[in-house]
């Protein structure tokens, strides 16, 4: 009887290791020279303090996020959302321009409960939006001299015969933009971290990405690259673990209000 119970326990353990969120408390610091930085987001809504590679730069991206930039970055990559040379640090719950959808909020909450269907939809939607943006970027540049010229352009776009010949390929229909998900859970210095690794497609190129979600609503996202000595994917988990965050705002009715400012 004891042997049967032991066998059953081993089988259950194997099932969880194969299909569940892997428990892992080993967060390895990259073997590079580093520096401590303190940087504010745009308009000083958030202060971030963390250790990062000595030769990487850091910039405010918006009111609750930063981007860390590799010295290997080129001009075409600088404004990309997905790049092994760019590491994005952001609050995934606090709205920037638009409120975060309730469906997405639930997905983040479920992620920390071991439910992954929602976060996979969030990431698929995110990658799809990036691809749509790539297509829109290929629209012809238009300069508007007067308000009438703006209306003329909208009228042209409304005319199916005159619309620029840029359409989404049929292969995009029902396409899974993010696949091959794996999940690992860490007990970080500042709380729980769920690392989500996945493959994603941007136009015709496949990337291996990692999003590290902290339970304080901040995430650190990077991309792996075997041909890069130190990619943002190599840094994401370590920075997610060591970053300290100080917020200088409050959230009222999905509106971000800076502390000490009368509205």
- Domains of the chain as residue ranges with CATH: 24-136+170-258 (3.40.1000)
- Picking from 119, 109, 89, 110, the residue whose alpha carbon sits closest to that of residue 219 is 89
Which of 7-16, 88-97, 138-147, 149-158 is modeled with the greatest confidence?
88-97
For 205, counting Cβ atoms within 10 Å of its Cβ (0-12 exposed, 13-18 middle, 19+ buried), the class is exposed
What's the pLDDT at 232?
97
Mean pLDDT score of the chain, rounded to an integer?
82
pLDDT for position 9: 44
Q: What is the mean pLDDT of residues 222-249?
A: 95
Interval 215-227: pLDDT, tens: 999 999 999 999 9
For 236-259, give the secondary structure using H, E and C.
Answer: HHHHHHHCEEEECEEEECCEEEEC
Whether this prediction's pTM lies above 0.85 is answered by no
Tokens for 71, please give them: 């010295």
> Nearest CA to 201 among 90, 139, 123?
123
Which of 58-62, 121-125, 144-148, 213-217 is the least confident region?
144-148
Q: In 112-146, where does DSSP find H-type helix?
A: 117-137
Residue with more model confidence, 174 or 143: 174
Q: In angstroms, how far is CA 81 from the centroid of its own chain?
A: 8
Is residue 140 very low, low, confident or very high in pLDDT (cuts 50, 70, 90)?
low
pLDDT, tens digit, for every residue of 157-181? 444 444 444 455 666 667 889 999 9
**Which pLDDT belongs to residue 76?**
64
Buried b (16+ CB within 10 A) or exposed e, 132-142: eeeeeeeeeee
């Amino acid at each position: 009887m004891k042997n049967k119970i032991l066998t059953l326990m081993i089988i259950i353990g194997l099932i969880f290791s194969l299909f569940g969120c892997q428990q892992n408390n080993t967060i390895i610091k990259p073997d590079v020279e580093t520096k401590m930085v303190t940087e504010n987001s745009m308009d000083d809504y958030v202060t971030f303090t963390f250790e990062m590679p000595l030769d990487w730069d850091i910039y405010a991206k918006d009111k609750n996020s930063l981007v860390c930039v590799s010295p290997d970055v080129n001009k075409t990559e600088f404004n990309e959302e997905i790049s092994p040379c760019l590491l994005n640090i952001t609050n995934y719950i606090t709205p920037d321009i638009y409120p975060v959808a309730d469906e997405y909020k639930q997905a983040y909450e479920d992620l920390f409960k071991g439910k992954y269907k929602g976060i996979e939809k969030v990431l698929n939607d995110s990658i799809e939006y990036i691809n749509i943006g790539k297509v829109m970027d290929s629209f012809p540049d238009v300069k508007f001299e007067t308000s009438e010229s703006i209306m003329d352009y909208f009228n042209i776009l409304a005319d199916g015969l005159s619309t620029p010949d840029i359409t989404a390929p049929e292969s995009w229909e029902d396409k899974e933009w993010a696949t091959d998900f794996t999940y690992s859970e860490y007990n970080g210095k500042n709380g729980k971290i769920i690392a989500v690794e996945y493959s994603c497609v941007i136009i015709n190129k496949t990337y291996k990405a990692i999003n590290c979600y902290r339970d304080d609503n901040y995430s650190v996202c990077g991309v792996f690259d075997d041909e890069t000595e130190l990619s943002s994917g190599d840094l994401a988990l370590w920075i997610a673990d060591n970053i300290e965050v100080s917020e200088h705002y409050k959230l009222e009715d999905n509106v971000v209000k800076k502390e000490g400012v009368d509205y």
